Structure formats: C-alpha cells, structure tokens
C-alpha cells in the first residue's frame, strides 16, 4: 500500500510556509542593517582587525563576544569591508531564528496558523542588527530542548552541549543561561537516575571541548582570572548604563491608552509646492494657511512638501491659481483633484470616516510604554508557564507530558535570562528577547482558544474575545517596540531598497558620505581618509565606531570602547600605549567633554602621551551636538592642507 499523499503535501506546504517567512525575515533584517545605529559598526571594525592579523584578547580588548567578531571577519573575507558583511550575518541569523520558532511552535500546537504568528513576531520585533545572537541563541536552545525532551538521545544531548559552548562564545552570559537550561533539561527528562549524572558529565565535557581552545587562548594571553575580573567590571558598567528592571509600572491606565482615533491629517494627501521666485516668505506662509497645507518641509530650492487637509476641488483650484505657487506635485490641474495613484482608496476612506480611524493601543506611540507592556507579558509568561508546568497533577494523557516539560524548560530559560536581556530602555531591549516569549505566548493563546470550544456558548465567546484582546496586546506591543509600521513604510518607498543597498555595499565606506557636511562625523572620516595613507591607523577617543568604520583605518590602540570599567588598569593602559606608540597614528580625534573630564582620570598614561605627542588643530560640533577635537602628531610633517577643513594633510592630494 502507498502512503496517502495528503500528509506529504501538507508537510511540503508547511516547509514552504516556514521557508518563505524565514526568507522574508532574513531580507527584512538585511534592510534594517542599513539603519544608522552606531553599535552596528563595532563588529565590523573588530572583524577588520582580525583579518589584518590582530586577534581578540592578545591584540585588542573586546567585550567577551569572540564568536561575533570571528563571524564578522569571515563575512568580510567573503564580501569585503562593507556593511553588507554584517547585514548578511544578522539576516541569516534572524531568518534561521524565524524557521526554528515556527517549527518549535508547530511541534507544540500541531497547527500552522499559530506557528506562523509566533514566527512573524520575531520578524515584527526587528531586533537591532548587532543583537542577532540574542534571537538565534534562544531560538536554537528552544528547538534543541524540544528535540531532546521528545527524543532524549545522545545525539541531541551533544547538540545541546555544543550549542551551550557556542552561546558562551557569542557572549559569555548567554552560555551560562543555556548551560543552566541544558542541565535542567537533562534532570527533568531523566529524573533522579544515574543517567542524569552521566549525561550531565558528557554534556559538560562537550561544552568544554567547544570552549576550551578559546579559554586556553585567554589563559595564555590574559589569564582567566584577569579575564573574569574584566568581564565583571564590564558587566557592572553595562548595568549602570542600562539597569535591569523587575517590573515597570503598568502603562495602560486609561481607556484612551487602549483605544483612540487617529487625526484625519494622518491620512491626508501629501503634495509638493514650488514657489514663485518673486514670492516672499510671508506670502508663502499665508498661502499655506489659506489652503490648509500643514507640516511643510523643504524639498529643494523654493520648494516644499506638505499635507493638504482640504482636498476639495474648490480648495485645490484656489491653490493652483494662487500667484505665489509656480508649480505643484501630486495634484491634477485639469480636474482640481488628487490622483488615485498618489492618494490611495484606503487612505481616502480613513480620511473621510472616523470609524475607520480607530487605533488600538495609542499609548504604544511611545515605544518605551510598549516595551513596558512587553516586559509584563514576558514576565507573566515565564512565571505562569513555570507554575503550570510544575503543578502536580494526575497524568491523563502521556502524550502531553513532553509538551509540558518543553514549555516549562523554555519558561525557565526565559526567567533566568530576562535580567540580563531585558534592561532599560525596554523599548530597545524587548525586541532582542522575543524568541522564547513568542513560543510561549502563542501556545498559551492557541490552547485557550481550543479549550474554549468545549465551554458553553457564552463562555466560549468570552474566552475567545479575551484571547483576541491578549493577542492584540502582544502583537501591537511587539510591533511598536520593533517600530514595524514606520520601518514598513520606509521599506515600501520607491527608493528604499536601492538606498539601503547602496549603504550596505559601498566600499571604501566613506564613498557614500560625500554629501555630508564638513561638521559631521562623516566629514571627520572624510578628512582622515583623504589625509592619511591607507595603511595608517586612527585613534578615536569617544564612542564613535562609525567614525572608525567610515574613515577606513585600523585601530591605533587596543581600545575601541572607552569609559568606566573599560580596561582602565595601569597594565592595560601600558599595553594599549605600547600599541599606540608602534602604530603612531598621524591623527587623533577626541570627543568632548569625555576627553577633558573622564579620559585623564580613567586613562592617565594615554592622556599624558596624547598631550606630549599631539597638538590640537580644530574642532567641530555635529548635528547631534557632539563636539570633536582633531589632534595631529607633532613628529609628522604635513605635506598639504585639507581644503575642506583647513587642517594638515599627511598624504599628497588624490592619495587614498
């Protein structure tokens, strides 16, 4: 007999669905990698150092994330020194996480719809490009826990143990959390038996084999005790800057926080106006007031883009005939109307009918409040699922035991990892921790939805209404934290992908920033790139990895990160100073007021060296009110003057 084709076809359809969502998540994450987030440049810079022969711990200080740096270096070796390298790593990681969350949720719910929603939450969260390990590590851990609980073989044990080691190399605290989850998994599955002890020893040995080479490297070049002390100081510094929080105040306190109406202006047509050269600013302002044009922004010489609040033919005709207006964009002159191509039917309907402008959870316009709700949801899921899984009960269906074990273990991993993952601001960190809550939340909602079918009609309606409300709260909080609506609008713009692609593939990096003003970090990077040789190094005394990246120059010292707890001991300063003397960067860029206030106290050896060997040439105040001072080396004679800034150059014109 032949097997029915239906299960095979269904399985193929599920695979196609999961794969399609994973690819969408990957591409979306690649797009997000083009966003101007400063931290995304750190691994790119460290990856370049590795490719140049400088290795973590031995040659530069790093924050306990060696695998991220090695993966960045590997990607750069393939695609070059461009942001595309980091975008591909992050995109593949998030795409894989989406795939894993889909299949774990499907294994627990046996249904495609909840699995699709759980995986979509990972996409909606839009984790920061450099935070991809926080998503992949926990999605992978959940998948391996699920597999081991259902099939406790040595092969899956080795997978869990290897993943523990990999998590440790990605970031050491992740390794600790996954190790605790691995130990709990073995103990829960095998109970108080000899097998538990044997399997734990085996898992520990495998994890040690994975991490052992790196630990040996650390012992040789730093010493494990010193490295441990470094990690504790760095962690304390991180917790001082971004402290953990058990539970924030519940942010939805009024009905207006839960439901509201958007203003018609949110859906009004956007038009362009080109002013008559003879019109005055006063006349232009009067015209916009008279014809209800608001939120005007300059779009070129004598041109603005604004929102038209009154799209009636009479108002448009008056605007077209206004003597201050030379030309328009987005208006049909012959019919005095807005073309359907520039103002779609949905926006027209929502502009006209208030009932279509209902907005759930308007409080989530503030992403921090959405993050606070997400923290409440995550904490409730962790504690509630743990209590449910551990509650003593009579087993009526042996088939449900593995699911209960899996859910309890996933909840336990969420509980132990939350203090390290969910810190302030919650609007930033909630998106990184979404993988485990997505599985738990969707399983919970799906189970309640199904069980409601066995209740009376009134109870069924009430229960399912509660499920819909809770699902909405979950989805809207995650999409708000992930800025999904704004990012999706950007993604749908005509030139979105071309602009993002240009940002990701341009090399040398500074080539994309030629239009940026001189008083910007891009202007500083342009100066360094134009006035130093390609084999020169650069010392940046500020948290500005973007400057290091765009300047396209090597690290001059062991420090990319500076500040309290960032390798400030006398021995670390001496080691960094030795590297600085050997690299002898012709240019140093210092951020103010850090250079004047904290730097001399934290790094006196480096400060004395800079004062003795370098002289200030000038400073800039960028558009974010960051002040930078440029220093040049006394011992190096300039060969020309930079025409953009008037500062010394150390290479002939045209040399890169």
Q: Given pLDDT bands bounded at 50, 70 and 90, which one contains residue 654?
A: low
Alpha-helical segments (H) within 310-434: 313-320, 345-352, 367-390, 401-421, 426-429
CA separation for the pair 626, 112 (Å, rounded)? 50
Sign of the Cα torsion 418, 134, 66, 586 reads negative
* Integer Cα distance of 411 and 409 in angstroms: 5
pLDDT of residue 395: 57
Higher pLDDT, 519 or 502: 502
pLDDT tens, position by position, 327-381: 999 999 889 999 988 898 989 999 999 989 998 999 999 999 999 999 999 999 9
The predicted pLDDT at position 2 comes to: 47
Average pLDDT score, the chain: 90
Q: Tell me, what's the pLDDT at 119?
A: 96
Angle between the N-to-C axes of helices 435-452 and 132-150, in degrees from 0 to 180, rounded to the nearest 10 = 50
Question: What does pTM read for this prediction?
Answer: 0.88
Domain boundaries, the chain: 5-249+364-485, 261-360, 511-649
Q: Is 51 helix (H, G, I), strand (E, B) or coil?
A: helix
More confident residue, 245 or 172: 172
Q: What is the pLDDT of residues 561-574, one digit of tens each?
A: 888 888 999 999 99
CA distances from 191 to 156, 407, 531, 598 (A): 17, 17, 67, 54
Integer Cα distance of 208 and 86 in angstroms: 28
**What would the pLDDT profile of 24-45 be if each residue is shown by its tens digit?**
999 999 999 888 777 888 899 9
Report pLDDT digits (tens) over 371-425.
999 999 999 999 999 999 988 766 555 457 889 999 999 999 999 999 888 888 9
Query: What is the pLDDT, as a whole number, of residue 167?
Result: 98
Band (517; pLDDT cuts 50, 70, 90): low
The string of DSSP letters for 362-379 reads GGGGSHHHHHHHHHHHHH
End-to-end Cα spacing for the chain: 72
Q: Provide, rounded to the nearest whole percent, the portion of the chain with pLDDT above 90.
A: 67
What is the model's pLDDT at position 241?
80
Note the pLDDT of residue 155: 95
CATH code that applies to domain 261-360 = 3.30.70
What's the pLDDT tens digit per position in 530-549?
899 999 999 999 988 988 99
Looking at residue 242, what is its pLDDT? 82
Kindly state the tokens that stand for 18: 């999961």
Give the pairing type, strands 614-621 and 640-641. Answer: unpaired
Quote the tokens at residue 516.
């940026």
**The predicted structure's pLDDT at residue 288:** 94
pLDDT of residue 457: 85
Q: Has residue 1 got a pLDDT over 60?
A: no
* Cβ count near 211 (within 10 Å): 20
pLDDT in tens, 295-327: 888 887 889 999 999 999 999 999 999 999 999
Q: 599 and 559 in contact (C-beta within 8 Å)?
A: no
CA gap 612, 592 in Å, rounded: 19
- How far is the CA of 524 from the CAs of 197, 491, 641, in angstroms? 59, 30, 14
Per-residue pLDDT at 392: 76
Q: At how many degrees (to 10) do helices 496-505 and 484-492 cross? A: 100
């Amino acid at each position: 007999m032949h097997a029915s084709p239906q299960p095979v076809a269904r399985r193929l359809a599920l695979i196609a669905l999961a794969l399609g969502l994973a690819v969408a998540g990957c591409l979306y994450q690649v797009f997000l990698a083009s966003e101007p987030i400063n931290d995304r440049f750190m691994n790119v810079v460290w990856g370049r150092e590795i490719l140049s022969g400088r290795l973590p711990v031995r040659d530069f200080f790093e924050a306990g994330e060696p695998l991220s740096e090695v993966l960045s270096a590997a990607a750069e070796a393939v695609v070059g020194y461009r942001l595309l390298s980091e975008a591909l790593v992050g995109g593949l990681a998030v795409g894989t996480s989406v795939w894993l969350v889909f299949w774990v949720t499907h294994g627990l719910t046996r249904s495609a719809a909840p699995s699709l929603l759980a995986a979509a939450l990972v996409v909606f969260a839009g984790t920061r490009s450099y935070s991809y390990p926080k998503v992949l590590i926990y999605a992978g851990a959940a998948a391996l826990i699920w597999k081991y609980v259902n099939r406790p073989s040595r092969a899956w044990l080795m997978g869990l143990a290897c993943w523990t080691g990999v998590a440790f190399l990605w970031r050491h605290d992740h390794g600790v959390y996954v190790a605790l989850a691995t130990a709990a998994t073995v103990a829960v599955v095998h109970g108080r038996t000899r097998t538990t002890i044997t399997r734990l020893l085996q898992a520990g040995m495998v994890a040690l084999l994975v991490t052992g080479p790196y630990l040996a490297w650390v012992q040789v070049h730093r010493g494990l005790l010193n490295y441990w002390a470094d990690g504790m100081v760095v962690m304390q510094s991180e917790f001082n800057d971004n402290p953990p929080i058990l539970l924030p105040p519940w942010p939805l306190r009024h009905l207006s926080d839960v439901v509201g109406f958007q203003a018609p202006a949110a859906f009004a047509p956007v038009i362009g106006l080109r002013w008559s050269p003879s019109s005055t600013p006063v006349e232009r302002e009067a015209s916009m007031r008279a014809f209800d044009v608001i939120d005007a922004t300059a779009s070129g010489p004598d041109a603005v883009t604004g929102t038209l609040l009154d799209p009636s033919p009479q108002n448009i005709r008056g605007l077209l005939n206004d003597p201050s207006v030379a030309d328009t964009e987005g208006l049909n002159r012959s019919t005095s109307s807005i073309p359907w191509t520039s103002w779609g039917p949905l926006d027209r309907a929502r502009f006209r009918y208030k009932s279509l402008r209902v907005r759930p959870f308007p409080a989530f316009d503030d992403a921090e409040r959405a993050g606070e709700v997400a923290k409440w949801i995550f904490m409730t899921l962790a504690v509630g699922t743990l209590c449910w899984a551990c509650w003593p009960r009579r087993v009526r269906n042996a088939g449900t035991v593995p699911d209960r074990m899996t859910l309890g273990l996933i909840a336990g991993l969420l509980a132990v990892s939350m203090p390290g993952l969910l810190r302030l601001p919650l609007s930033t960190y909630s998106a990184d921790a979404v993988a485990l809550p997505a599985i738990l939340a969707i399983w919970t909602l799906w189970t309640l939805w199904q069980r409601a079918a066995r209740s009376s009609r009134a109870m069924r309606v009430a229960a399912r209404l509660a499920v819909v409300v809770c699902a909405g709260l979950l989805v809207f909080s995650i999409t708000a934290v992930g800025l999904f609506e704004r990012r999706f609008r950007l993604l749908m713009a005509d030139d979105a992908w071309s602009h993002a692609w240009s940002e990701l593939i341009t090399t040398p990096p500074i080539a994309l920033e030629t239009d940026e003003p001189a008083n910007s970090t891009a202007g500083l990077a342009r100066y360094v790139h134009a006035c130093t040789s390609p084999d020169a190094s650069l010392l940046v005394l500020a948290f500005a990895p973007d400057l290091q990246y765009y300047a396209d120059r090597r690290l001059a010292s062991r420090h990319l990160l500076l500040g309290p707890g960032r390798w400030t001991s006398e021995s670390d300063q001496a080691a960094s100073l030795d590297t600085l003397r050997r690299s002898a960067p012709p240019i140093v860029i210092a951020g103010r007021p850090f250079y004047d206030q904290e730097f001399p106290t934290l790094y006196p050896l480096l400060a004395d060296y800079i004062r003795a060997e370098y002289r200030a040439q000038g400073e800039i105040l960028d558009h974010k009110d960051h002040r930078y001072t440029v220093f040049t080396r006394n011992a190096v004679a300039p060969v020309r003057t930079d025409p953009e800034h008037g500062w010394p150059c150390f290479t002939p014109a045209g040399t890169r």
